[in-house]
Chains A and B, each alone.
Chain A
Amino acid sequence: MRRVAITGMGAISALGRNTAEFAQALAEGRSGIAPIESTSTVQMRFQNGAEVKGYCHTPYFEDRRADFMDRFAQFAVIAAREAVADAGVQFTPELRETAAIVTGSCVGGQSTEDIGFQEVYKHARNRVHPLTIPKTMANAGASHISMEFGITGPSFTISTACSSAAHAIGQAYWMLRSGVTDLAITGGSEAPFSFGILKAWEAMRVVSPDTCRPFSKDRHGMILGEGAAMLVLEPLEAARARGARIHAEIVGFGMSADAGHITQPSAEGAARAMRSALRDASLAPEQIAYINAHGTATAANDPTETAAIRAVFGAHADRLAISSTKSMHGHALGASAALECVATALALRDGLLPPTANYSQPDPECDLDVIPNQARAAQVEYALSNSFAFGGLNAVLALRAV
C-alpha cells in the first residue's frame, strides 16, 4: 500500500479567503463569528453565523459562469484552485484522465432551491428558474472542479451531513493508497445561509444565541458556518520525487454508524470510528497527541465526545491536547471536516495547535485539555480529526507530521 501526502491545501471560510488567512486566524484564536448578513434574522432566535463576509463571485468567476453556480459550488472551485496552485501540479493529458475528485456537501445548493421555490410558493408565479436543479445538486462542487481543470477521472460527492467531507477525504485517501488514482482533489463545501435553512436549524434548538463555546460549561449550541476546503493528495514517494512541498501525511481513516438515534450522538459509535481510524493507521492510542474534535458546542455532542475519547484513550486521554476549531470557523456542515483537516495538517506542519476559542468555564462533563483560547506551540507527530454526523454516521481521519 502506498503512503499518501497532502501536497496542496485551499480554504475559504469566515476566517479568510485563503489558507494563509485561515492559519493566521487559528494561530491568533480569532473567531469569524459575527451577525449574519446573507439573509434576514429579524424573526430568528439567533443572529450570528460564520459567513464568508462580503463575498461576491467577482473576481473569482465571470458573470456568465457564476450564473451556473450556487455559492457552495463557487467556494468548492475557489478552494480547489488554491489547493492545485499550492501543490504546483502540472496537469498532463494522462493525469487529467486518472485524477479523482471526491467532495462532500450536506445541503448542496439548497439556498438556490429555497429562493427558487419562493417564486411558486410565495410570489404565485408559474415557473422556477431552469438552473435550479443543476445549481442545487450536491455534486455540483465536484462537477465544477472537474470542468475547471479538465479532470475526467473518477469524480463523485458524498453527503453524510456533518461528516461529509471526512467521508470524502477518507475515500480519496483510500483510492490513492490502493493505487486506484495518482492524484485526488478532495474536501467539502457548503453555503447554508438561506432563510428557510436557518429557520429549519432554529427549529432544532441547537443553535447558540451568542457564540460557539465548545466544551465550555456555558455553551449554548452550535454556530452555522460556510465555506470550503480542498486538499490535493498524491502518493508520498511520487510527491517527494517531484520535489513537492508536503504539508502532512494522511495515515488512516475510520468510519462507523451509531445505529441508534437520528440526532442524539452515541459515545460508542464515536469511539468505534476513532478505533477504526487507529487500526487503519496501525497506530496505538498512545501515539496520538492532538485531536481536532467534532466539538459542536451542543449540549449533547461535547460530553458524548469526551466520553468517547476517554473510552478509546484511557489514561492517555489526560495527556491529549484537544480543540474544536468550530469555535472560530463555525459549523460549516459538509465543509467542516475539510476545514478541520486543513487545521489539523497546519497544526502538524507548523507545530502550533489551534485553540478552542470563546472558552470561559470548565465543564466536569468535558474534562479534557481543550487548549482554551490560546494556540499552543507543540511539535506533534500524530493527530486525529473527528466528525460525527446527525444520523449517527461517524468518520475519523488520522494524520502524521512529515
Chain B
Amino acid sequence: MSDELIQRVIKVIATTKRIPVEPVTIDSSFEQLGIDSMDAVEILFALENEFDVSIPDDEVRSVRGIRQLCEGVDRLLSAKSAGGKAPE
C-alpha cells in the first residue's frame, strides 16, 4: 500500500467531511473523526469516483477506520490492475 494511496484516501475523507487534512491519519477511526453512517456512505461514493472502483456493500460493513478503508481500496485497485473484475 503506497503512501500516495493513503494520502489520496485521506484527502477524499477530508474533502467529503469538510475537515482539515491534518487530523486525519492512517490510524484514525471513524469515531474519532465524527464520521457517522451517512458520512461513511458519502466517503465510499467519493472513493469510488476518485479511484474508479466499485466498492461492494459486504466489503464495507466491518470498516471502522482509515487503515481498513485504505487496505480495501488497495485491494480493489490490485484486482483492477490484474485485469480481474472487482468482487461484486
A residues engaging B (CB < 8 A)?
Answer: 45, 203-205, 209, 220-221, 261-264, 299-300
**Is the CB of B88 closer than 8 A to any CB of chain A?**
yes
B30 contacts chain A at the CB level, 8 A cutoff: no
For the complex of A and B, list the 10 residue pairs with the smallest distance between their C-beta atoms, beginning with the closest: A263-B38, A205-B41, A205-B57, A45-B57, A204-B41, A203-B45, A264-B36, A264-B37, A209-B57, A300-B37
B76 → A minimal CB distance (Å): 14
Is A205 in contact with B44, judged by CB distance below 8 angstroms?
Answer: yes
B60 within 8 A of A: yes
> Are B36 and A205 touching (Cβ within 8 A)?
no
With A205-B44, A209-B57 known as contacts, the answer to whether A262 contacts B88 (CB < 8 A) is: no
- Give the residue name and chain of the B residue nearest to A298 (CB): B37
Contact B88 A261 (CB under 8 A): no
- The B38-67 residues at the A interface (CB cut-off 8 A) are 38, 41, 44-45, 56-58, 60-61
Q: Which residues of B contact A (CB under 8 A)?
A: 36-38, 41, 44-45, 56-58, 60-61, 88
Q: Please give me the residue from chain A that is nearest to B54 by CB atom.
A: A45
Q: Is A205 in contact with B88, judged by CB distance below 8 angstroms?
A: no
How many angstroms between the C-alpha atoms of A219 and B32 in the bound complex? 27
Q: Which residues of B contact A299 (CB under 8 A)?
A: 37, 61
Question: Chain B's interface: helix, strand, loop or mixed, by majority?
Answer: helix
Q: How far is the CA of A81 from the CA of B1 in the complex (A)?
A: 62
Residues of A within 8 A of B56 (CB): 45
CB-defined contacts of A203 to chain B, threshold 8 Å: 41, 45
Closest partner residue, chain A, to B45 (CB atom): A203
Taking A45-B56, A299-B61 as given, write out 14 further A-B residue pairs in contact, using a Cβ cutoff of 8 Å, ordered by the A residue number. A45-B88, A203-B41, A203-B45, A205-B44, A205-B60, A209-B57, A209-B58, A220-B58, A261-B36, A261-B38, A262-B38, A263-B37, A299-B37, A300-B37
**Could you pull out 25 A-B pairs where Cβ atoms are within 8 angstroms?**
A45-B56, A45-B57, A45-B88, A203-B41, A203-B45, A204-B41, A205-B41, A205-B44, A205-B57, A205-B60, A209-B57, A209-B58, A220-B57, A220-B58, A221-B57, A261-B36, A261-B38, A262-B38, A263-B37, A263-B38, A264-B36, A264-B38, A299-B37, A299-B61, A300-B37
* A264 CA to B61 CA, complexed, in Å: 16
The minimal Cβ–Cβ distance linking B53 to chain A, given in whole angstroms, is 13
Q: Which residues from A are CB-within-8-Å of B37? A: 263-264, 299-300
Closest to A44 in B: B88
CB distance from B12 to the nearest CB of A (A): 16
Identify the closest chain B residue to A207 (Cβ).
Answer: B57
Chain B residue nearest in CB terms to A390: B38
In the complex, which residues of chain A have a beta carbon less than 8 angstroms from the beta carbon of B88? 45
- Which residue of chain A has the shortest Cβ distance to B44 in the bound complex? A205
Minimum C-beta distance from B6 to chain A (A): 23
A362 to B56, CA, bound (A): 26
A300–B36 Cα gap in the complex (Å)? 12
Note all chain B residues with C-beta closer than 8 A to A264: 36-38
Q: Determine the distance from Cα of A45 to Cα of B56 in the docked complex, in whole angstroms.
A: 7
**Distance to closest chain A CB from B35 (angstroms):** 12
Q: Which residue of A lies closest to B61 (CB)?
A: A299
Between B36, B45, B56, B57, the greatest number of chain A beta carbons within 10 A of the residue's beta carbon is seen for: B57
Q: Which B residues are CB-close (under 8 A) to A262? A: 38
Which residues from B are CB-within-8-Å of A205?
41, 44, 57, 60
The complex places the Cα of A209 from the Cα of B41 at a distance, in Å, of 17
Nearest neighbor of B57 in chain A, beta-carbon distance: A205
Closest residue on chain B to residue A203 by CB atoms: B45
Q: Which residue of A lies closest to B55 (CB)?
A: A205
A205 to B61: give the CA distance in the assembly, Å.
10
A325 smallest CB distance to B (angstroms)? 24
Tell me the minimal C-beta distance from B22 to chain A in angstroms.
Answer: 26
A204 to B39, CA, bound (A): 10
A271 to B23: give the CA distance in the assembly, Å: 37
Residues of A within 8 A of B36 (CB): 261, 264
How far does the Cβ of B40 sit from chain A's closest Cβ, in whole Å? Answer: 9
Q: Considering the complex, give the chain B residue whose CB is closest to the CB of A221.
A: B57
